[in-house]
Structure 1
Amino acid sequence: MTGKPALRSWFSPGLIGLHVFAIVAVVFCVVMGLWQAGAYDDRQHHEQADKRVVPTVAFESLWVAGDPFLTKFNHRPVTVDGEFAPADQQVWVSGKELDGRTGAWLLAPFMVDGTDDAVMVLRGWAPETGDLPDVPSGALTVDGVLEPGESADSGFDDTTRTIGSVRIPALINVMSFDLYSGFVISTDENLAAGLELVPPPQPDDVSWTVGLRNLAYALQWWVFGLFAAFMWWRMTVETARASERKVA
């Protein structure tokens, strides 16, 4: 009869060494898996830090007028030298939310030094559109974060200077100068004209595939640990049964 071996047979002198080896093997695999999982987490955190801690650069040295918006420009802190176009060239962008409230952004074209082109600067958010505020006069430097233009199509109302999205091709049609294909979210209270500053969006979340090799190694070690535990159980049962058959 081949039932379960008696518990005492699991602790026979011949199996003590097997138990010790199995415990060491399983613990080693678990620890190595945890170490690789920790390495995966570290890679994720470091990648997130690299995306969020980006040095500020001069706009003119980063982007040449006429060039397309590149991925590396996205969420990039910049300083832009130049001066604002006349206040009547500003535009309201409707349907923009801030802290759960719906209102509008105020965009102002900013003539970039050394070019004949302008970049739209987001000065701030208002609960509703209205008269266009004055713009700061003279040469100045804008501090902000660079973002790509929006793709949603929308019409422009010249009477209220209102548009439904920051769609650069649509804005070019109503400006007397060329525009860069992105815009700058100003982080300077002095340029907000009493409006609320719009917080720049955070960089995209890091892909889970960053450090994937470490994650695969962690899973591999844990599979080894499960296999070692299975082999320990199987060998112990078979050895114990063989021992009982000899006794019988």
Structure 2
Amino acid sequence: MSGGSARSWLRPGLVGLHVFGVVAVAFCVFMGLWQLGAYDSRQEHEQADKREVPRVALSSVWGPDEPFTGKLNHRPVSAKGAFAPASDQVWVTGKEQDGRTGAWLLAPFLVDGDDRALLVVRGWAPEPTDLPAVPAGEVAIDAVLEQGEAGGTTYDPDRREIGSVRIPALTNELPYDLYSGFAISTSTSAAGGLDLVPPPQPGDVSWTVGLRNLAYALQWWVFGAFALFMWWRMATESVAASSPKVA
């Protein structure tokens, strides 16, 4: 850039435009980074909400006549009650664990009265066997809540087997008012010698959580790019207009 050209770019009439352009671009970049930080914070908070949920009493978050909501899924709870007679248990077949296919033992757990039951997975076995005995009397268990499973497998009353934890199907077969979801027990005392079933871990947080903040960040950067373009265009046009015309 020649000395004359440099003076044209730095003449008093353009200094203000340069200052405005720098401030506008810097502000847009800063605001974009701030919104990006807000997006990252939303993601972290959502991860914490999913993975660092304290264990609470079942009765404080869910009742037998209430629907199963997303907030209950994978929720650690504790509950007191009594297991229904061993003959009311059901094997849920086709369940894989440690690379093997076996069955879950599903037992009605009477939480609030004799007719209200939460279906509890006591444990896993390589294959269905005779129904094992249940713990006697009132017991306390720790468990993780899960929503009922889908599937078209019908219930076999003779073998007491079903292919998935289908709450509606089991409601018609068991003499209890069933909760609309089930629980996977994490208490060894309730397993009766079966292998405990590892509860599913919450999935990764969707990138769309906090999407508005991410969109605002991109928007601010687009504004910054536009401000940079307008500064360049106005400055170059002003310099060209002030340059001496060659005859």
TM range (shorter): 0.7 to 0.9
2:113 paired residue number: 114
Task: For residue 242 of structure 1, report the CA deviation from its aligned partner.
Answer: 2.4
- Distance in 2, matches of 1:20 and 1:104, equals 72
- Distance in 2, matches of 1:227 and 1:162, equals 66
Deviation larger for 22-31 or 36-45? 22-31
- Pair 1:30-2:14 in alignment: no
2:129 paired residue number: 130
Corresponding pairs, count: 243
Provide TM-score, normalisation by structure 1: 0.83
- Distance in 2, matches of 1:62 and 1:242, equals 73
1:202 paired residue number: 201
Indicate the SS of the match to 1:157: coil
Structure 1 residues 135 and 7 mapped into 2: Cα distance closer, same or farther (>3 Å)? farther
Give the conservation status (yes or no) of the 8 Å contact 1:65–1:115: no
Structure 1 residues 43 and 61 mapped into 2: Cα distance closer, same or farther (>3 Å)? closer
Task: For residue 172 of structure 1, report the CA deviation from its aligned partner.
Answer: 2.6
1:3 paired residue number: none
Task: For residue 224 of structure 1, report the CA deviation from its aligned partner.
Answer: 1.4
Task: For residue 115 of structure 1, report the CA deviation from its aligned partner.
Answer: 4.3
2:217 paired residue number: 218
Structure 1 residues 99 and 233 mapped into 2: Cα distance closer, same or farther (>3 Å)? farther
- Pair 1:139-2:134 in alignment: no
Task: For residue 219 of structure 1, report the CA deviation from its aligned partner.
Answer: 2.0
- Pair 1:81-2:80 in alignment: yes
Structure 1 runs not aligned, ≥5 long: 1-5
Deviation larger for 6-15 or 90-99? 6-15
Structure 2 runs not aligned, ≥5 long: none
Structure 1 residues 25 and 86 mapped into 2: Cα distance closer, same or farther (>3 Å)? same
Give the conservation status (yes or no) of the 8 Å contact 1:32–1:218: yes
Structure 1 residues 214 and 134 mapped into 2: Cα distance closer, same or farther (>3 Å)? same
Give the conservation status (yes or no) of the 8 Å contact 1:9–1:243: no
| 2:6 counterpart (11, 16, 41) | 11
Structure 1 residues 7 and 180 mapped into 2: Cα distance closer, same or farther (>3 Å)? farther
Q: What is the Cα-based RMSD across aligned positions, in Å?
A: 2.7
Give the conservation status (yes or no) of the 8 Å contact 2:82–2:110: yes
Structure 1 residues 127 and 244 mapped into 2: Cα distance closer, same or farther (>3 Å)? farther
Task: For residue 208 of structure 1, report the CA deviation from its aligned partner.
Answer: 4.4
Give the conservation status (yes or no) of the 8 Å contact 2:64–2:177: no
Structure 1 residues 16 and 153 mapped into 2: Cα distance closer, same or farther (>3 Å)? same
Structure 1 residues 27 and 173 mapped into 2: Cα distance closer, same or farther (>3 Å)? same
- Distance in 1, matches of 2:87 and 2:2, equals 90
Structure 1 residues 238 and 179 mapped into 2: Cα distance closer, same or farther (>3 Å)? same
Structure 1 residues 34 and 53 mapped into 2: Cα distance closer, same or farther (>3 Å)? same
Amino acid across the alignment from 2:128: T
Provide TM-score, normalisation by structure 2: 0.83
2:168 paired residue number: 169
Structure 1 residues 199 and 8 mapped into 2: Cα distance closer, same or farther (>3 Å)? farther
Amino acid across the alignment from 2:32: G
1:156 paired residue number: 155
Task: For residue 232 of structure 1, report the CA deviation from its aligned partner.
Answer: 2.0
Identity across aligned pairs (percent)? 65
- Pair 1:49-2:25 in alignment: no
- Distance in 2, matches of 1:152 and 1:53, equals 31
